[in-house]
Chain A
Amino acid sequence: RKEVEQDPGPFNVPEGATVAFNCTYSNSASQSFFWYRQDCRKEPKLLMSVYSSGNEDGRFTAQLNRASQYISLLIRDSKLSDSATYLCVVNWGTGGFKTIFGAGTRLFVKA
């Protein structure tokens, strides 16, 4: 089983749609969680951190379910510019942090 698993997609949605991505992780000792965005042939960049209480940043909402070991990302009112690959990221470790990425979920937003 992969340490971090995501549905690779692609998700093809029209502008204005709401889309949700899920991610599961295998290590119950995981300590912190993030969503990164990666555009084609670019490096990954942080989209948002994921907190236990859930957090929202504009059109983006992230949630964490530690009991079921999954995190989610909800994008409302999708824009063409949201088209990218969304990477689920999990940190764990003692004395240092190992940062593990999922394979990513591809999103295409169409006019």
Chain B
Amino acid sequence: DTGVSQDPRHKITKRGQNVTFRCDPISEHNRLYWYRQTLGQGPEFLTYFQNEAQLEKSRLLSDRFSAERPKGSFSTLEIQRTEQGDSAMYLCASSPGQGDTEAFFGQGTRLTVV
């Protein structure tokens, strides 16, 4: 499978716990994006990387959220001290990084905080 891969697909966690999600983009895609989507809403931009550099973070990304892309390949999104409001689908997307090209999405990680 050469598409964007996210792991895990589902995560249920207790409030206050830390969670980490992984995204493997399409090989050789330089740009990687993280989005959060709640029911009835479009994907909300969280952050994006150009290779290993994190170029922008949304104000939605509180101090409890951190994302990394250490080698410019896979990325991780960590949420510390989860809250019920963090329950959402977390989507990762990648694009080639040259010109105006489409972003390809993974199937997402659905987080439920109980």
Contact = CB atoms under 8 A, between A and B. Distances in A.
Interface stretch (A14-22, A42-50, A70-78): A42-50
Interface of B: 31, 33, 35, 40-45, 48, 50, 55-56, 91, 93, 95, 100, 102-103, 105-108
Contacts of A49: 100, 102
B48 A104 contact: no
Contacts of A43: 91, 105-108
A101 B106 CA distance: 16
Contacts of A91: 100
Contacts, number: 57
A96 B50 contact: yes
Interface residues of A, number: 25
Interface of A: 6, 8, 31-32, 34, 42-46, 49, 85, 87, 91, 93, 95-104
Nearest to B51: A96
